[in-house]
Structure 1
């Protein structure tokens, strides 16, 4: 499904909304959301994941109380995603779910990535979780209130949601010691800026990119100790999928050539840093 907006515009417009008007989506809008879900592109590694739109009445019918520990208020609908855990699967999950979220932004709907602040067992009951499947993240879907609640503003303040790391900490030229000069890479600077604006768990922004020759190499720089609470779910790989998606959607819109592939350049990198993919 294509939106009437540019993806670059949608990336700028998207923000995490935690307060919603307590109203159900119309049947027409639900149909549009479901169309988005079934047309989500395949992930970069080709792994399987699935997404489902649910509403609170489904939970009430089953006497289930899905919760978000007070982080979300008013929302009547959620999109719940599931996958079989694996390094590549988590990247694909982030890539695919962010595409869905950007499409929802184009419909004027509010969303908010939730990777840890929801009751997984209750949501699992609503999507018929099978075998070793896991739910890496969910998002509320609905009409955000005009004003953010005090709780929402405090959460954003605590997470530093508006803050993004400067270019010199994220993007490099040739190796991890030389910051990349955005004035030397033409329109690719716009694509990297869209990476910089990507949402991430606890706003850790774990992506790093090295430009070497005519390629952009993407790395995951792990946050020490992060993820111990949910060892079965690698939220920072989910974050990498979001960043990769932002880059690809932007370069396609800018009509720049290239594609993602595994092409590890063997560049020395800091401890805790892992190669992911390259744009060549």
Structure 2
């Protein structure tokens, strides 16, 4: 299905917004997002549940909080997923699709992993036993004025920088970088993948082109704490969303599938997740 917004323009316009006008979405705006959520799916056939939350949704009088990282936001996107194979990747894929839709409409968003009050948010998300709830995003009206804290966060995360092609995309094995000319029509989808956001901008995805497939790997660079999830799998899902939307816009043939682990020599921190398989 062709995206309902221009993919490249929207991806390039997306940035992490941390300062918002202190006003809530109108009921009509909230309904607009609920309608779009009903259309969302992901290529991993995992059921991702979304809720549009109000900051005033309180637990024992305590408002939902983000430890000072976000200022002024009155609404948040919360997403949960049952703990199953490719669950986190599916959540990243579906939620990034929703985030890009919001950006295309002019709203501000910001992926948040470890910087929100998970206990308070979890209560208003009505989590089922075994559900994963790794991330949220504010959803609202950007102020256009950055706070000093915002500049510091952006600088420390190097969020304006992205890895070069040769560090992310490979031909047949991890010792041979993939040239843009060898990617052909898929060079656009890979470039959109390169621009995807990730936790502290680690860009933990690697893609190996081999015969009629693009194999996606997680390059694990962050350690999850006790009782926490591997947030970098969400990041790979976000990157896959960029690839999938770009491929759909250009009507490139293929689909995401989980295959038997490819016979490609990898290091211990590299984990195969799924592939984009070209249709003949």
TM-score of the alignment, normalized to the shorter chain, above 0.5: yes
8 Å CA contact 2:57, 2:63 repeated in 1: no
Q: Which residue, 99, 102, 109 being the options, matches 2:100?
A: 102
Asked if residue 18 in structure 1 is aligned to residue 18 in structure 2, the reply is: yes
**Alpha-carbon distance between aligned partners in 1 of 2:94 and 2:226, rounded to the nearest angstrom:** 21
Scaled by the length of structure 2, what TM-score is found? 0.93
Q: Which residue, 269, 274, 279 being the options, matches 1:272?
A: 269
Report how many residues are paired. 276
Q: Runs of at least 4 residues of structure 1 off by over 4 A?
A: 1-4
CA shift for structure 1 position 165: 0.8
Question: CA RMSD for the aligned pairs?
Answer: 1.7
- 1:220 aligns with 218
Q: Any stretches of 5+ residues in structure 1 without a counterpart?
A: none
**Alpha-carbon distance between aligned partners in 1 of 2:227 and 2:220, rounded to the nearest angstrom:** 14
Correspondences of 1:1-280 after superposition (within 5 Å): 5-41=5-41, 43-59=42-58, 63-223=61-221, 226-229=222-225, 231-263=227-259, 264-280=261-277
**Alpha-carbon distance between aligned partners in 1 of 2:85 and 2:231, rounded to the nearest angstrom:** 10
Q: Any stretches of 5+ residues in structure 2 without a counterpart?
A: none
**Alpha-carbon distance between aligned partners in 2 of 1:174 and 1:273, rounded to the nearest angstrom:** 15
**Alpha-carbon distance between aligned partners in 2 of 1:36 and 1:27, rounded to the nearest angstrom:** 14
Scaled by the length of structure 1, what TM-score is found? 0.93
8 Å CA contact 1:175, 1:268 repeated in 2: yes
**Alpha-carbon distance between aligned partners in 2 of 1:4 and 1:16, rounded to the nearest angstrom:** 21
Relative to structure 1, is the Cα distance of residues 94 and 230 closer, same or farther in structure 2, using a 3 angstrom cutoff?
farther
CA shift digits 1:9-68 (9 cap, x unpaired): 211111110110111112221111221222211x222122211001123327x5232111
CA shift for structure 1 position 132: 2.1
**Alpha-carbon distance between aligned partners in 2 of 1:242 and 1:202, rounded to the nearest angstrom:** 14
**Alpha-carbon distance between aligned partners in 1 of 2:149 and 2:67, rounded to the nearest angstrom:** 12
